[in-house]
């Protein structure tokens, strides 16, 4: 029986305050840069001021003589430290081109921020001061900034590759050959749209920090890093540095947000480890914010061409997508795979025939590498289909909600096998859309809009929507194999009942704000019938939790949380054998509830978990052949992705004189299946929505034509503050996932996935009466004003 | 140069370089690492502390400028193991996720209520314009501050 | 994030500060609240060899009634200007504008004199004091001189202050009940204005100044002249950018700035005429 069928849940589904909070609220929590490491050397990195240049010469003499400086290294001088280049774990095609990428550039720099010289000194100020004394002579080459221009190969970045194209990845699904083209030729309505997913800076509030601490004897080394992926990092660091894996321990202390930007193997982690081993001293590095803008991965960076074909009722008959994806200068851990994660979602939540044609070019530019950023490929895909659906509705002159209703996959169709062959586990899009429409007063807004948006109106009202599906909970290992991903998608958990019936839950997930300690304890408490306060959750240290695949892609609950439940089941199974032995009955005759085993029909014949835990510990009287102790390790490999879904709506006013947007209401109806802790679910939605809304209205990594990043600080890169964003109305529908025992789906990325297209659709809706049909992101006041001006001129 | 700053009730006399920022003084010299650094342009507010009872950004001050002053950091808020009402409100309303902006956000929020004990939602949002958070979308931070105001 | 090294001296009076800066010359910079200077130093865009801390000169922090004007000591913090009952009563436009500088934390440390002397045309107070016809009191080795705000701003981050001079007091004429409007247009509340407008209007006079519409704060004299000769607010506002030389930047083109200036001047004047 799954827990979703068992309606006796007493812990799951309740709003539990987070056990993580007191340490974070009082300053006791330790982030990586808070660690006290006496004698540690500080690393500072001189970075390239050019987007594309040959290194002619480097003079480090003055830096070496600077007070407090211990050593100065160029890329060439460290080259012997690397057993191999930095890893890309996702070779999306067999012929994908991947230039070798080392922690410091040796002969050529390929983006502003590329590391050139490493300085080690006794203090942070000494290593920083020395950077100003290094003289590097560059031969500047032409920057390659525009992803579509790069494809012309007029100016090749990695000469040895002979091209700026890394790969072309295709997904063409046709019921009969040529049916996509046929559908477009026969279509009653067609839309053909071009969207630009601007580059974004992830801007986790904690800049990255690293400390590598060698053990005095034996060659072991501990890496502390503000990472989302201690387990993956351990393997990759061992391979890249040529250190036996068992000698590497990775610890992620408190981590101040990631959003994908800490889902990587970074130069600074490898540099700190190499230098710590060379000098046999701890080496630490902390990123400055303006360094973070250039040296931490960027998100998005795609040009999308989307075509929809529809019959006269508006039913979609084919989808064609061409993507030009900006890889940046190098392939980081999963750079090439990010657009592929969206490849399956360009039909959104709609029931389409087998007529889908997707192709993506991964292209190098002389800009900071891109990689996974909250949603990774899926917000881009959702944006494209949802904005294109609005374009189709405008062309058909029908209500965009009505158009969606005509195309939704119906509730009865689940589990639904999509054109791609993937199975959508469960859903009810109509219910989510109607709930959102009710909360946003869709009908009332339309009435009000008709009155307000008359000729000459200074403030125009708009409402926009997005219905989304998120492919998350990465992921079934076999599916990942078919996508050529370099790892599996399982997650591990250990549940250990201590002699006094206290519990340790060890998880392979690596939380950095998501509250896993609280939620995993809730799951274990529910399963074991042991109070939450008696349960500890251990994580983020490969010495304590040696197995795991970490936290990204809304996978932690849907994979890691289910693994915790599975490990609890195994412990209960073992405890059942001990209980049966003590009660002298068959294990099959026992029922387990509230932490007590009792004989079915004879509730007075019972033994509590506490007695079993102690018996397992003393091992005085266990069934023959049963191992002492009460502990189980379980690795869960999900049979499917999880498919959260929902509808977001946004009501806003555009000041047509200035172009400024005022959001009047934002409604998010999300369905993530069974909610473990609704408090945390809402928090994830709030944060995700604002991040998506920030892409729509505020944020962009702006480059000039020479490849210089113009938005390097938080004064220029506009992460919005409380004063700049609205409150959010959250609501939920609950459609349990049938594929896991908890009935759960992911929720970490949903808000981000739904928000950008919702806001942009609302702006276009407000202005469509003025002839505005396009709205680039971010829709800054100037951008909106210009769109109004050019629509007026076109009239 | 010598500076003498009373931090969380204890007078601290240290020899510092003139360029020592107050936040580095707190973190590196006193190991009060609860105060975080999130930017280099006074934009994010993660380093917010109280100087002589007012919220200030400790990354935009020299330790020398705080010489003779009274500083309260996040570590100095709780009394006898009981969290300050603002800390409690953040906990009760899920006003934090990763927790990195949180010390600064709490210090700024306490400062806000000191100057405006009964703010509207809009006043809370505007009052926290100098503090950035990337996790919460601010919804529950605003809720926390409004709840603390009612306490 | 770590400034380049410098020496540090603390002045206890304006005279001492001026004598110190005389000793150290071009290498020295005054440090008031530090909220303009320290961020530049952390990014190493400014690397003064000597900082003269004037922040503790107690007798330069005051707000006094000077008869026709309100006298504000240069080291008076934004927060104190914003909350001052005297400023609120006599020059409410200035109190209001002071409440828009930076954020609360910045207003607790930043000073009016520091902001004006930094001469950033994107800051709120240079334009506001310009609109109000303020006079700045400047002290140098040879004594005091008075300078109209209109004569103070010379270029981008450049004022008429000599290296050995210090701004000590700001004299802002009382508004005598004149109505006013203040418009700050930005993308985030904490940011500098993309375009800002400080405007006041009485029966027979007006003052309109623009934030971030050139390398200096701009006095929109054409607007005031038009109003004086009887033009409507809407018509006068069309002249908003006559004196301006706006630049392009990340947030706005000069064309958009010109447009915004017209809209915002109109809105500010509508409030000042209500």
Range of the domain at B144: 85-150
Sign of CA dihedral A413, A419, A425, A428: negative
Q: For A437-461, write each residue's pLDDT tens digit.
A: 999 999 999 999 999 999 999 999 9
Strand-pair category, C166-173 with C135-140: antiparallel
**Token output for B62:** 């020299």
Question: Residue B151 has what pLDDT?
Answer: 86
- The domain boundary, picked from B76, B99, B123, lies at B76
The tokens 């992620």 sit on which residue?
A: A252
**Token output for A688:** 């995700």
* Contact at CB, C188 and A785, closer than 8 angstroms: no
Mean pLDDT across A423-428: 94
- Please name which of A114, A57, A45 lies closest in space to residue A271, comparing C-alpha atoms: A45
Question: Residue C26 has what pLDDT?
Answer: 86
Q: A329: burial class by Cβ within 10 Å (0-12, 13-18, 19+)?
A: buried
- What are the φ/ψ torsions at residue A154 (nearest 5 degrees)? -65, -25
Question: In Å, how far are A406, A496, A506, A570, A746 from A634, measured between CA atoms?
Answer: 44, 11, 10, 8, 20
CA C69 to the chain's CA centroid? 17
Distance between CA atoms of residues A542 and A540, nearest Å: 6
Question: Residue C25 has what pLDDT?
Answer: 86
* Contact at CB, B130 and C104, closer than 8 angstroms: yes
What is the widest separation between alpha-carbon atoms in chain A?
A: 90
**Shared domain check, B105 and B70:** no
* Contact at CB, A683 and B97, closer than 8 angstroms: yes
If one counts every other C-beta atom within 10 angstroms of the C-beta of residue C155, the result is: 11
Nearest CB to B135: which of A25, A257, A714? A257
Q: Quote the percentage of chain A above a pLDDT of 70.
A: 99
Find out whether B148 and A746 touch, Cβ atoms under 8 Å: no
Question: Residue C274 has what pLDDT?
Answer: 79
Q: Quote the percentage of chain A above a pLDDT of 90.
A: 97
Strand (E) positions, A226-364?
248-251, 283-286, 302-310, 316-328, 355-364
Mean pLDDT across C192-213: 97
Question: Residue A3 has what pLDDT?
Answer: 43
**Shared domain check, B91 and B70:** no
Angle (deg, nearest 10), helices A378-396 and A400-407? 110
Q: Closest residue of A to B103, CA-based?
A: A25
* Contact at CB, A723 and C189, closer than 8 angstroms: yes
Looking at the complex, does the CB of residue B140 fall below 8 Å from at least one CB of chain A?
Answer: yes
Distance between CA atoms of residues C15 and A291, nearest Å: 41
A249 three-class SS: strand
- Domain parsing of chain C, residue ranges: 7-53, 58-173, 179-273
Find out whether B39 and A714 touch, Cβ atoms under 8 Å: yes
Sign of CA dihedral A309, A315, A318, A319: positive
Looking at the complex, does the CB of residue B29 fall below 8 Å from at least one CB of chain A?
Answer: no
Give the contacts of A157 (CB within 8 A, at least 6 positions apart).
A52, A99, A110, A144, A150, A164, A329, A364, A365, A366
Q: For A408-419, write each residue's pLDDT tens digit.
A: 999 999 999 999
Report whether pLDDT(A8) > 70. Answer: no
Q: For A529-546, write each residue's pLDDT tens digit.
A: 999 999 999 999 999 999
Looking at the complex, does the CB of residue C15 fall below 8 Å from at least one CB of chain A?
Answer: no
Question: Residue A473 has what pLDDT?
Answer: 87
CATH level 3 topology of C58-173: 3.30.465
Chain C residues with CB inside 8 Å of B43's CB? 190
**Shared domain check, B61 and B13:** yes
Looking at the complex, does the CB of residue B16 fall below 8 Å from at least one CB of chain C?
Answer: no
* Contact at CB, A722 and B124, closer than 8 angstroms: yes
Chain B residues with CB inside 8 Å of C53's CB? 62, 64-65
Is residue A1 very low, low, confident or very high in pLDDT (cuts 50, 70, 90)? very low
Q: Specify the CATH class of C179-273 in words.
A: alpha beta
- The domain boundary, picked from B31, B56, B76, lies at B76
A74 membership: H or E segment, kind and range = strand A69-74
Report whether pLDDT(C96) > 80. Answer: yes
* Contact at CB, A780 and C251, closer than 8 angstroms: yes
Q: CATH number of the domain that B109 lies in?
A: 1.10.150.120
Name the percent of chain C in helix, strand, coil, to the closest 5: 35, 25, 40
- Whether the link from the prior residue into A415 is cis, omega within 30° of 0, is yes
* Contact at CB, A714 and B44, closer than 8 angstroms: yes
Report whether pLDDT(A492) > 60. Answer: yes
**Residue C25 exposure: Cα atoms within 13 Å on the Cβ side:** 1
Mean pLDDT across A27-35: 98
Q: Which ranges constitute the DSSP H helices of A623-770?
A: 678-697, 750-767
**Token output for C93:** 């436009």
Strand (E) positions, A376-526?
416-417, 423-424, 459-469, 491-497, 503-507
- What are the φ/ψ torsions at residue A792 (nearest 5 degrees)? -65, -40
DSSP string computed for C230-251: T--HHHHHTTTTTT------SS
CA A575 to the chain's CA centroid? 38
Question: Residue C58 has what pLDDT?
Answer: 87
Distance between CA atoms of residues A581 and A597, nearest Å: 12
Q: CB pairs below 8 Å between B and C: how many?
A: 93
Question: In Å, how far are A530, A573, A590, A624, A741 from A570, measured between CA atoms?
Answer: 15, 5, 15, 18, 14
What Rg, from alpha-carbon coordinates, does chain C have? 18
Report whether pLDDT(A5) > 90. Answer: no
Chain B residues with CB inside 8 Å of C114's CB? none
* Contact at CB, C188 and A125, closer than 8 angstroms: no
CA B118 to the chain's CA centroid? 20
Report whether pLDDT(B114) > 90. Answer: yes
- Measured at the CA of B29, the angle between CA B28 and CA B34, to 5 degrees, comes to 55
Q: B17: burial class by Cβ within 10 Å (0-12, 13-18, 19+)?
A: middle
Give the contacts of B145 (CB within 8 A, at least 6 positions apart).
B86, B89, B95, B109, B112, B113, B119, B124, B128
Residues 16-75 (C) with a CB less than 8 A from some CB of B? 31, 34-35, 38-39, 41-43, 51, 53, 55
b/e map C165-199, b = 16+ CB within 10 Å: bbbbbbbbbbbeebbbbbbbbbbbbbbbbbbbbbb
Q: For A129-148, write each residue's pLDDT tens digit.
A: 999 999 999 999 999 999 99
* Contact at CB, B41 and C104, closer than 8 angstroms: no
Name the minimum distance, in Å, from the CA of C163 to any CA of chain A. Answer: 27
What is the residue-averaged pLDDT of chain B?
A: 97
Distance between CA atoms of residues A114 and A107, nearest Å: 12
Name the minimum distance, in Å, from the CA of C140 to any CA of chain A. Answer: 35
Mean pLDDT across A362-366: 98
- The domain boundary, picked from B76, B96, B122, lies at B76
Report whether pLDDT(B116) > 90. Answer: yes
- Subunits in contact with chain A (3 or more CB pairs closer than 8 Å): B, C
Q: For C110-159, write each residue's pLDDT tens digit.
A: 999 999 999 999 999 999 999 999 999 999 999 999 999 999 999 999 99
Mean pLDDT across A202-216: 96
- Domain parsing of chain A, residue ranges: 21-28+490-636
Question: Residue A475 has what pLDDT?
Answer: 85
* Adjacency order of strands within the sheet including A209-214: A69-74, A115-121, A41-47, A283-286, A209-214, A221-225, A248-251
What is the residue-averaged pLDDT of chain A?
A: 96
Q: CATH number of the domain that B68 lies in?
A: 3.10.20.30
Question: Residue A7 has what pLDDT?
Answer: 41
* Contact at CB, C251 and A290, closer than 8 angstroms: no
Report whether pLDDT(A293) > 80. Answer: yes
- What are the φ/ψ torsions at residue A382 (nearest 5 degrees)? -65, -40
| Residue of A658, A719, A778 to mutate, interface with C, max C Cβ within 10 Å | A658
Question: Residue A9 has what pLDDT?
Answer: 62
Nearest 10 degrees: CA dihedral of A394, A400, A402, A406?
80
Distance between CA atoms of residues A777 and C250, nearest Å: 14
Is residue A6 very low, low, confident or very high in pLDDT (cuts 50, 70, 90)? very low
**What CATH number has the domain spanning C7-53?**
3.30.43.10
Report whether pLDDT(A127) > 50. Answer: yes
* Contact at CB, A720 and C253, closer than 8 angstroms: no
Right CATH for A21-28+490-636 from 3.30.365.10, 3.40.50.980, 2.60.120.10, 3.30.230.10: 3.30.365.10
């Amino acid at each position: 029986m799954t827990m979703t069928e068992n309606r006796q849940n007493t812990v799951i589904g309740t709003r539990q305050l987070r056990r993580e909070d007191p340490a974070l609220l009082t300053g006791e929590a330790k982030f990586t840069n808070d660690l006290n490491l006496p004698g540690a050397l500080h690393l500072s990195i001189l970075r390239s001021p050019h987007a594309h240049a040959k290194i002619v010469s480097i003079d480090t003499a003055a830096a070496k003589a600077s007070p407090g400086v211990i050593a100065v290294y160029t890329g060439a001088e460290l080259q012997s430290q690397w057993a191999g280049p930095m890893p890309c774990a996702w070779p999306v095609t067999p012929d994908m081109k991947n230039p070798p990428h080392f922690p410091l550039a040796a002969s050529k720099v390929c983006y502003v921020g590329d590391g050139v010289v490493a300085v080690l000194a006794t203090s942070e100020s000494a290593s920083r001061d020395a950077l100003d004394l290094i003289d590097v002579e560059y031969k500047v080459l032409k920057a390659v900034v525009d992803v579509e221009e790069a494809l012309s190969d007029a100016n090749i970045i990695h000469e040895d590759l002979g091209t700026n194209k890394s790969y072309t990845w295709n997904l063409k699904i046709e019921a009969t050959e040529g049916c996509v083209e046929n559908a477009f030729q026969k279509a009653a309505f067609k839309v053909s749209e071009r969207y630009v997913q601007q580059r974004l800076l992830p801007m986790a509030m904690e800049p990255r920090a690293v400390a590598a601490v060698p053990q005095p004897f034996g060659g072991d080394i501990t890496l502390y890093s503000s990472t989302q992926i201690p387990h993956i990092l351990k393997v990759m660091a061992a391979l890249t540095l040529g250190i036996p894996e068992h000698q590497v321990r990775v610890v992620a202390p408190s981590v101040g947000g990631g959003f994908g930007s800490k889902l990587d193997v970074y130069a600074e982690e490898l540099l700190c480890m190499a230098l710590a081993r060379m000098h046999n001293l701890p080496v630490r590095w902390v990123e400055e914010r303006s360094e973070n803008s250039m040296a931490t991965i960027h998100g998005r960076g795609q040009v999308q061409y989307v075509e929809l074909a529809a019959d006269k009722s508006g039913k979609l008959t084919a989808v064609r997508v061409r993507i030009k994806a900006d890889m940046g200068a190098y392939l980081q851990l999963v750079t090439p795979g990010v657009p592929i994660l969206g490849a399956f979602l360009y039909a959104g939540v709609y029931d389409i025939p087998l007529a889908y044609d997707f192709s993506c070019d991964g292209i190098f530019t002389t800009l900071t590498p891109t990689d996974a950023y909250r949603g990774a490929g899926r917000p881009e895909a959702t944006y494209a289909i949802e904005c294109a659906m609005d374009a189709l509705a405008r062309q058909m002159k029908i209500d965009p909600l009505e158009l969606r209703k005509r195309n939704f996959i119906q509730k009865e169709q689940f589990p639904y096998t999509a054109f791609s062959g993937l199975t959508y586990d469960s859903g009810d899009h109509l219910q989510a859309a109607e709930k959102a429409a009710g909360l946003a007063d869709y009908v009332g807004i339309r009435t009000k809009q008709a009155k307000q948006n008359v000729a000459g109106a200074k403030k125009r009202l708009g409402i926009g929507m997005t219905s989304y599906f998120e492919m998350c909970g990465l992921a079934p290992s076999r599916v990942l194999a078919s996508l050529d991903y370099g790892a599996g998608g399982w997650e591990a958990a250990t549940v250990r009942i201590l002699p006094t019936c206290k519990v340790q839950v060890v998880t392979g997930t690596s939380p950095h704000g998501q509250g896993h300690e609280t939620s995993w304890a809730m799951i274990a408490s529910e399963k074991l019938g042991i109070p939450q306060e008696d349960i500890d959750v251990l994580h983020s240290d490969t010495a304590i939790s040696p197995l795991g695949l970490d936290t990204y892609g809304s996978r932690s609950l849907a994979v890691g949380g289910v693994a915790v439940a599975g490990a609890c089941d195994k412990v209960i199974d073992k405890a059942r054998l001990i209980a049966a032995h003590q009660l002298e009955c068959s294990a099959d005759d026992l029922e387990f509830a509230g932490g007590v085993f009792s004989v079915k029909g004879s509730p007075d014949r019972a033994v509590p978990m506490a007695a079993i835990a102690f018996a397992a510990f003393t091992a005085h009287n266990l069934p023959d052949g049963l191992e002492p102790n009460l502990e189980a390790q379980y690795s869960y490999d999900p049979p499917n992705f999880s498919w959260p879904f929902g509808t977001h709506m946004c009501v806003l006013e555009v000041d047509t004189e200035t172009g400024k947007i005022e959001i009047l209401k934002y409604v998010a109806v999300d369905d993530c299946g069974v909610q473990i802790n609704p408090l945390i679910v809402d928090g994830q939605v709030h944060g995700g929505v604002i991040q998506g809304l920030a892409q729509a209205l505020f944020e962009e990594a702006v480059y000039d034509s020479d490849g210089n990043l113009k938005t390097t600080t938080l004064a220029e890169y506009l992460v919005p503050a409380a004063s700049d964003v609205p409150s959010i109305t959250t609501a939920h529908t609950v459609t349990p996932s049938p594929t896991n025992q908890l009935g759960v789906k992911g929720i970490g990325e949903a808000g981000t996935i739904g928000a950008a297209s919702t806001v942009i659709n609302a702006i276009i809706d407000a202005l469509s009466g003025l002839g505005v049909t396009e709205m680039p992101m971010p829709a800054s006041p100037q951008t909106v004003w210009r769109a109004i001006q050019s629509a007026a001129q076109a009239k | 140069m010598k500076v003498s700053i009373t931090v969380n009730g204890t007078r601290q006399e240290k020899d510092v370089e003139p360029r020592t920022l107050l936040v580095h003084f707190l973190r590196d010299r006193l190991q009060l690492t609860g105060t975080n650094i999130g930017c280099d342009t006074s934009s994010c507010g993660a380093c917010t502390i109280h100087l002589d009872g007012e919220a200030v950004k400790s990354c935009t001050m020299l330790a020398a400028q705080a010489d003779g002053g009274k500083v309260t950091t996040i570590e100095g808020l709780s009394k006898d193991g009981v969290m300050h009402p603002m800390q409690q409100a953040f906990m009760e309303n899920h006003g934090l996720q990763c927790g990195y902006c949180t010390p600064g956000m709490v210090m700024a929020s306490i400062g806000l209520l000191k100057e405006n004990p009964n703010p509207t939602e809009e006043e809370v949002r505007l009052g926290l314009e100098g503090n950035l958070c990337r996790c919460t979308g601010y919804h529950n931070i605003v809720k926390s501050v409004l709840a603390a105001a009612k306490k | 994030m770590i400034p380049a090294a410098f020496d540090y001296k603390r002045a206890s009076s304006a005279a001492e500060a001026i004598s110190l800066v005389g000793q150290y010359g071009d290498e020295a910079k005054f440090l008031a609240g530090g909220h303009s200077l320290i961020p530049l130093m952390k990014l190493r865009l400014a690397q003064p060899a000597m900082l003269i801390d004037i922040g503790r000169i107690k007798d330069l922090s005051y707000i006094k009634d000077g008869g026709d004007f309100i006298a504000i000591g240069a080291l008076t913090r934004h927060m104190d200007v914003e909350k001052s009952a005297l400023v609120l009563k006599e020059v409410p436009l200035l109190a209001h504008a002071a409440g828009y500088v930076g954020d609360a934390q910045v207003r607790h440390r930043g000073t009016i004199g520091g902001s004006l002397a930094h001469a950033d045309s994107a800051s709120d107070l240079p334009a506001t004091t310009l609109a109000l016809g303020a006079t700045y009191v400047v002290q140098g080795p040879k004594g005091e001189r008075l300078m109209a705000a209109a004569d103070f701003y010379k270029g981008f981050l450049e004022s008429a202050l000599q290296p050995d001079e210090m701004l000590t007091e700001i004299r802002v004429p009382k508004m005598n009940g004149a109505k006013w409007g203040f418009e700050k247009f930005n993308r985030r509340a904490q940011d500098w204005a993309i375009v800002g407008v400080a405007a006041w209007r009485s029966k027979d006079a007006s003052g309109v100044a623009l934030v971030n519409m050139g390398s200096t704060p701009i006095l929109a004299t054409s607007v005031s002249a038009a109003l004086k000769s009887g033009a409507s607010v809407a018509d006068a506002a069309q002249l908003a950018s006559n004196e301006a030389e706006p630049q392009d930047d990340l947030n706005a083109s000069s064309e958009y700035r010109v447009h915004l200036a017209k809209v915002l001047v109109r809105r500010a004047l509508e409030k000042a005429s209500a």
